Amino acid sequence: MTERVPPRVKICGTTSVADALMCAEAGADALGFIFAPVSKRLVTPQVARAASLSVGPAVTRVGVFMHQGLDEVLRLAETSRMTAVQLHGPLPALYVESICAYYSVLRVLRPTELAAERNMWEGHSAVTLMLDAPEPGSGMTLDWGALQANFPAGGWLAGGLGPSNVVQAIELLRPAGVDAVSQLEARPGVKNPQAVQAFVDAVKGFKS
């Protein structure tokens, strides 16, 4: 039987060049830069751009947005040299499609929203579905057992993931990617290098 490829690893809430370089060195496949003004991990376009350029093209750089206008999203993503966009909150399909013309999209949904949106986006060439807790970045986990029967094909998982629980989540749901932030920090916006490395090692070392 063919061995499964481990999920891709995204580390979100990057707020400095130093943390970007550290996460890339640890083996992260993608970094998240939060531009949603409500976040305690808000990053400036200038810092995000410097961090993005520092890690090079092998690492996906994801701009994270919530309740922001289309022009603002595209402007910030371009200025900061993002290569993908992560979208939270209720959004018209046309808004998401407009982003897809320029970037690949991580479309973040709560489990209660999955039934209404999965037919629209599952299998879309530019959209990947990600399931997250009702309050992103809160450290709350989802009920993985309840999601087993309906987890989207090729979907990503977020919500309270860390070195101690990510393997269990992967075993249950087999996501294509995992996203973490709160469990990998010394304090909001500042990464814990040991936790980051432990998380990456746990995911990359997963054997099906």
Give domain limits for the chain. Answer: 8-200
Q: What is the mean pLDDT of residues 3-20?
A: 93
Q: Which of 12, 19, 29, 179 is catalytic?
A: 12
Name the CATH superfamily for 8-200.
Aldolase class I (3.20.20.70)
pLDDT digits (tens, 9 = 90+) for 79-110: 999 999 999 999 999 999 999 999 999 999 99
> Predicted confidence band at 29 (pLDDT cuts at 50, 70, 90)?
very high
Q: Is the pLDDT of residue 49 over 80?
A: yes
pLDDT, tens digit, for every residue of 154-193? 999 999 999 999 999 999 999 999 999 999 999 999 999 9
**Is residue 12 flagged as an active site residue?**
yes
What is the arithmetic mean of pLDDT over 140-149? 89
d(CA 105, CA 100): 6
- Is 179 part of the annotated catalytic residue set? no
Catalytic-role residue among 19, 23, 29, 132: 132
